[in-house]
A and B are shown apart, each in its own frame.
Chain A
Amino acid sequence: MAETVIEAKSLVKKYGDLEAVAGIDLEVHAGEIFGFLGPNGAGKSTTISMLCTLLTPTSGVARVAGIDVVHDPAAVRQRIGLVFQDPSLDDQLTGRENLEFHAFVYSVPAQDRRRRIDEMLDLLQLSDRAASQVKTYSGGMKRRLEIARGMLHQPQILFLDEPTLGLDPQTRKSIWTHLNELRSAKGVTIFMTTHYMDEAEYCDRIAIIDRGKIVALGTPEELKGMVGGDVVTITSSKPDAAEREIKELLGVTPARDNGSLRMEVPDGKAFVPRLVRELQAPVDTVSLRRPSLDDVFLKLTGRVIRDEEVSARDRNRAMASRWMGRRR
């Protein structure tokens, strides 16, 4: 087994009576891409902030790169790369100047500076725009520059807090391609948070977090295996009658989500013809699919993660609480 690079035991963060993180245990291994998945306000950002030494845990222990985050935060910071949720570039400076600044404050040896900056610009495909001011960059380019910057001091672990938030699907995909490349080129461990279910599929392992607690942890396949077989969803103009009949005739208890009925069955292909044949209540639409992480989340928490949950206001509040947490 690969060595453990992140280790948390009973990690708790309280704000007054509010328990933002309610006791988290996890281990992340070297070279992994580890995803932290959950809805907004679940405690993702608070957890990642504690691991990055930006917040002090109320109780519990966390070791990052083998170093206790409370005892020696500076040593931890030297060994980790950070990509924040909100932009943190100087957009008056060029891409290269932003990286130079970082190389200085992270004590990258003078003889390595240029070489490492060129290498990172190249890896993240920013070489041709390195001399342009960051204010001329697209959202995706800014993100890539922040990733390049986070990698410049050769950290063991790269932490990314919602790195693809607000980017279009194509750009999100390219960010993932780059992260995978970085992992294979540099062997860096990647720890990231996201609320995009489809992105979690790219991770080697995922922890699903809800209300400050980890409710499931495993590979995407393992987690999907928690949902039994296939997912069948029907809509009906008489959902109550349909629900009763499905229970009585087919022996399955469906879950109601507005007007639709959703059920997990071992063999969807055989189940659908039976359903259509035996139901008296009108069936308007039928869909059959393999379970996704959304289904896992729904099964574990009884709720759905929605993209629109992350509003600008929530993001600001999350940032404010992270940066002024001690003052409130």
Chain B
Amino acid sequence: MSVETASPTLAPAQAAPVDTRMASLRAIYIIWYRDILRYWRDRWRLVASLAQPLLFLLVFGSGLSSSLGGAFGRGTGISYIQFMYPGIIGMSILFSAIFGAMSIVWDREFGFLKEVLVAPIDRWAVAIGKALGGTTQAMIQGLMLLVLAPFVGVKLSPLTVLQLVPLAAVLAFGLASFGVAIASMMKSLQGFQVVMNFLMMPMFFLSGALFPLTNLPGWMTWLTRLDPASYGIDPIRRVVLSNSGLPNVNSLGLTINGQVLAIPMEAAIMFAFGAVLLSVAVVMFERRD
């Protein structure tokens, strides 16, 4: 009688097959959740990030408001500090969205990115998770500034807040995607200062956060219209001020060829910008070894 010998088999695939689409959704969720967790845990950053907008409003805003007086606003009845207030909300969103998304660079520096990149998940899920994390943080940062409305003479209604949430979301999404795209190309923290000085600051100054984008010199009109943040900050301002009984804000708004853009159009431009840059980020991520 022959003896049966168990032949050594090469290990079969033991792990249960994983639904890759579900796996990617889970990855997006947990990458987003980790960012939010870190955001809440870092209370000092939360406080510090409120300090800058406050400083702008109190010192810069109050100072210019009193020296300009009625000269500002060309008869719209809008004071400088009222004009600037939605811009500062926009600034807060701009900075926190880009910084939040660029935490990828920190993750790389401190090693955690390895844990993410070697996991059996799609790279695009990593980019999207990071962009959504930055978006959420920036929205919270921006909308938190709404508590200052009474101090600058702006009336808020629940309707205003309701309209602001999607507008803050597209602005945050566009800039967070921009942040992920930059981070995917950056290898070290050294480049950070460069990004800050040559991308974020010009973006902020040209966005119409601090002054109306009308009657500017020609070259500057061009640059402000090329700045994606302009299309995110203008609708926020129009909603906040016109709901506050200052409908003339539209005459200070963003125009293309002298035409005031519709708010949904501006939001669509902002969203499209975000979608394009997120695609860039995905391609960059997929390409990394």
Contacts and interface: CB of A to CB of B under 8 A. Distances in A.
Interface of A: 1-5, 30, 52, 54-55, 63, 65-67, 74-75, 77-79, 82, 84, 86-93, 97, 100-102, 104-107, 133, 149, 153-154, 156, 323-327
Given A5-B11, A88-B112, A82 B118 contact: yes
Contact of A104 (B13, B26, B41): B26
A54 B11 CA distance: 21
Contact of B13 (A4, A67, A97, A154): A67
Given A3-B11, A66-B10, A82-B118, A104 B29 contact: yes
Contact of B116 (A3, A65, A86, A105): A105
B26 A105 contact: yes
B33 to A, nearest CB: 8
Contacts of B256: none
B12 interface: yes
Contacts of A3: 8-11
B155 interface: no
A86 B110 CA distance: 9
Interface residues of B, number: 34
A105 B47 CA distance: 31
B11 A156 contact: yes
Interface in B1-43: 8-15, 18, 22-23, 26-27, 29-31, 34, 37-38, 41-42
Contacts of A75: 13, 120
A107 B18 contact: yes
A156 B23 CA distance: 20
Interface in B184-204: 187
A66 B34 contact: no
A102 B119 CA distance: 8
Contact of A326 (B12, B30, B34, B289): B289
Contacts of A67: 13
Given A77-B119, A89-B111, A92-B41, A107 B26 contact: yes
Given A65-B14, A77-B119, A93-B37, 19 more contacts: A2-B8, A30-B11, A65-B11, A66-B13, A74-B120, A77-B118, A87-B110, A88-B112, A89-B111, A90-B34, A90-B110, A92-B38, A93-B38, A97-B34, A102-B115, A105-B116, A107-B22, A154-B15, A323-B289
Contacts of B41: 92, 133
B120 to A, nearest CB: 4
A101 B37 CA distance: 11
A84 B114 contact: yes
Nearest to A74: B120
B275 interface: no
Contacts, number: 101
B121 interface: yes
Interface of B: 8-15, 18, 22-23, 26-27, 29-31, 34, 37-38, 41-42, 107, 110-112, 114-116, 118-121, 187, 289
Contacts of B115: 88-89, 101-102, 105, 149
Nearest to A98: B115
B34 A93 contact: yes
Nearest to A155: B15
A324 B186 CA distance: 12
11 contacts: A5-B11, A52-B118, A65-B11, A66-B10, A77-B118, A79-B14, A90-B110, A102-B115, A102-B119, A104-B26, A105-B120
B37 A97 contact: yes
A63 B10 contact: yes
A159 to B, nearest CB: 11
Contacts of B10: 3-4, 63, 66
Nearest to B12: A66
A79 B15 CA distance: 7
Given A4-B10, A66-B12, A324 B38 contact: no
Contacts of A4: 8, 10
B42 A92 contact: yes
A325 B288 CA distance: 10
A54 B118 contact: yes
A295 B246 CA distance: 87
Contacts of B37: 93, 97
Nearest to A79: B15
Contact of A91 (B29, B34, B110, B120): B110
A97 B115 CA distance: 14
Contacts of B11: 3, 5, 30, 65-66, 156
